[in-house]
Amino acid sequence: MSEHLGDRAVVLGGGMAGLLTARVLADRYREVLVLDRDALVGVTEPRRGVPQARHAHALLARGQGVLEDLFPGLTADLDASPDVLIGDLSGDLRWYFNGVPLAQHPSGLLSISATRPALEAHVRGRVAALPNVAFRERVAVRGLVSGPGGTRVTGVRFGPDGEPGPDETLDADLVVDATGRGSRAPGWVQNLGYPRPAEEHIRIDLTYTSRFFKLNSDPFGDDLAINPVASPANPRGAFFGKFPGGIALLSLTGILGDKPPRDDEGFLEFARSLDAPEVYEAVKIAEPVGEATSFHVPSSVRRRFDRLPRFPEGLLVIGDAVCSFNPVYGQGMTVAAMEAAALAGHLAKGPARPLEFFQEIAPIIANPWEISAGGDLAFPGVEGPRNLQVRMGNAYMKRLHAAATRDGRFSAAFFRVAGLVDPPQALMRPELVLGVLADAFGMRGGEPSATDRKPAAAAGTGSGGTGTDTAA
């Protein structure tokens, strides 16, 4: 056990960001309490506080690595679980970009295919087993408690969620807000006399509509998912993931107000419009399981805590409460994991220093924000600044994806960046740029690697296939 920095730390929110934060804090505080409005322990179903939980999710490669560091053996536990499938991100998933399937090529990066409740339950079980971590369930946080002058947060006030009863005050040496997109931290700190963080918005007006199916055919073959990614030419996308027992989850995505319907006929017609015809061919003869559900995301939001001149001591903000991304890129859980790892390093140097911590996680957020915001701005209807970097980046990415339809080595390089393992600048390595240009001008040298595969279903046969994106 490392040297303690205090007696008690309190984490607001028991989702993935909160769980990972609690794991890190358990090494530095004698007691860690996690507060949440939902029941948590033993829950394996979607929770009210995670409305996106019924839709496709992704734990990107970088996130999988961080979780394995925090919970040694977790990947093996997941691999042995009957409700989880694991494969190669660019070798075992079928991806369509701009209407064409990418050539598949092993990247060495794992894709973990699981529902959000199942993945969260595995992580929560590990956190709950820590002797100095406890959960306070079904409680609503009313506000912060501060010392004289509001210079330091000293605890929180909370009470029963949705029930009458007096508020309780919980003293804490450190409070960490991991309550997600709806965080009230900006208003709380404003009430203490501090400025609110500036916010950057990319309005996407995105809707997911998802449904499980019992399949009567096999569109996947050896693969885990079929993912037709939305593009300006066809802004309708989907994540179609395989689960054990012949079950599949289809999450349809529509941007800029194009809402995938929940009724049977409308859902199927939307699926028919996708760039991957094998998805529609599979679900039109499949048996629906349960009702279709929808989830709406008005915009991606980045709160610039890192630019504040002042901030109260004893309070940190983490995860989606700092930056909530367009969920189609599957970055949220992975960025939260990277921020938790940064928090561990931060606390290794001493007690929390909020402004310094926010500046430390700013570069962690910057790369995925560049990827998702830049990708969204490729759609003409998305409002936002399209500087030269964004315009050139999107033009280059279109050519790189075209090259990746013929050579899986470009696919693997792209997914190392999309998986947040490599920075976006890695796609500008001279040998890669030269290869993309050679492909664009018809000067390809040699044939694609023998390990590249193109799914038979790309020809519209409805067979073969690749796996699932577990994104959100």
Q: Could you give the CA distance from residue 188 to residue 156 in angstroms, rounded to a whole number?
A: 11
Confirm whether 304 is domain-assigned: yes
pLDDT score for 320: 96
Structure tokens at 90: 């660019």
Give residues with Cβ within 8 angstroms of 234, minimum separation 6: 99, 273, 274, 275
Asked if residue 305 is part of any domain, the answer here is: yes
* Closest among 133, 185, 124, 95 to 410, alpha carbons compared: 95
d(CA 445, CA 428): 19
H/E stretch holding 146 reads strand 139-146
Q: Are strands 139-146 and 100-101 parallel, antiparallel or unpaired?
A: unpaired
Residue 79: per-residue pLDDT: 86
User: Is residue 288 situated within a structural domain?
Assistant: no
Give phi and psi for 318, each to the nearest 5.
Answer: -150, 160
Q: Tell me how far apart the alpha carbons of residues 396 and 429 are, in angstroms, rounded to a whole number.
A: 13
- What does the alpha-carbon distance between residue 229 and residue 379 come to, in Å, rounded to a whole number? 13
Q: What Å distances lie between residue 101 and 117, 234, 301, 465, CA to CA?
A: 30, 14, 31, 10
Confirm if 163 and 3 have CB atoms less than 8 A apart.
Answer: no
Q: Give the whole-angstrom CA distance, residue 441 versus residue 436.
A: 9
Tell me how far apart the alpha carbons of residues 244 and 221 are, in angstroms, rounded to a whole number: 13
Residue 293 lies in a domain: no
CATH number of the domain encompassing residue 353: 3.50.50.60
pTM for this structure?
A: 0.90
Tell me how far apart the alpha carbons of residues 147 and 167 are, in angstroms, rounded to a whole number: 18
Domain count of the chain?
1
| 357, two tokens | 């911590």
Closest Cα partner for 365 from 423, 427, 311?
423
Measure the CA–CA gap between 186 and 184, rounded to whole angstroms. Answer: 6
Q: What is the per-residue pLDDT for 466? A: 29
In this structure, what is the dihedral angle of CA atoms 71, 77, 82, 87, given to the nearest 10 degrees? 80
Structure tokens at 306: 């890192």
pLDDT at 244: 83
State residue 393's pLDDT score.
86
Answer whether 399's CB lies under 8 Å from 393's CB.
Answer: no
CA–CA dist 84, 232 (Å, integer): 33
Per-residue pLDDT of the chain (472 residues; tens, 9 = 90+): 458 999 999 999 999 999 999 999 999 999 999 999 887 777 666 666 666 666 677 788 899 899 999 999 999 998 888 778 888 888 999 999 999 999 998 888 888 877 788 888 899 999 999 999 999 999 999 999 999 889 999 999 998 887 777 889 999 999 999 999 999 999 999 999 999 999 999 999 999 999 999 999 999 998 999 999 999 999 999 999 998 889 999 999 999 999 999 999 999 999 999 999 999 999 999 999 999 999 999 999 999 999 999 999 999 999 999 999 999 998 999 999 999 999 999 999 999 999 999 999 999 999 999 999 989 999 999 988 888 888 888 899 999 999 999 998 899 999 999 889 999 999 999 999 999 988 888 755 444 444 454 443 333 323 222 233 333 3
The domain of 329 spans 6-80+112-200+300-369
- Asked, for residue 153, whether it belongs to a domain, the answer is yes
Asked, for residue 404, whether it belongs to a domain, the answer is no
Q: Residues 430-450, buried b or exposed e (16+ Cβ, 10 A)?
A: eebeebbeebeeeeeeeebee
Q: Which residues pair with 141 in a beta bridge?
A: 158
Query: How many CB atoms are located within 10 Å of the residue 129 CB?
Result: 9
Cα R_g (the chain), whole angstroms: 22
Query: What pLDDT score does 43 carry?
Result: 66
88 pairs with which residues across the strands? 110
Q: Does 140 map to a domain?
A: yes
Other CB atoms within a 10 A radius of the CB of residue 101 amount to 26
> Is 414 inside a domain boundary?
no
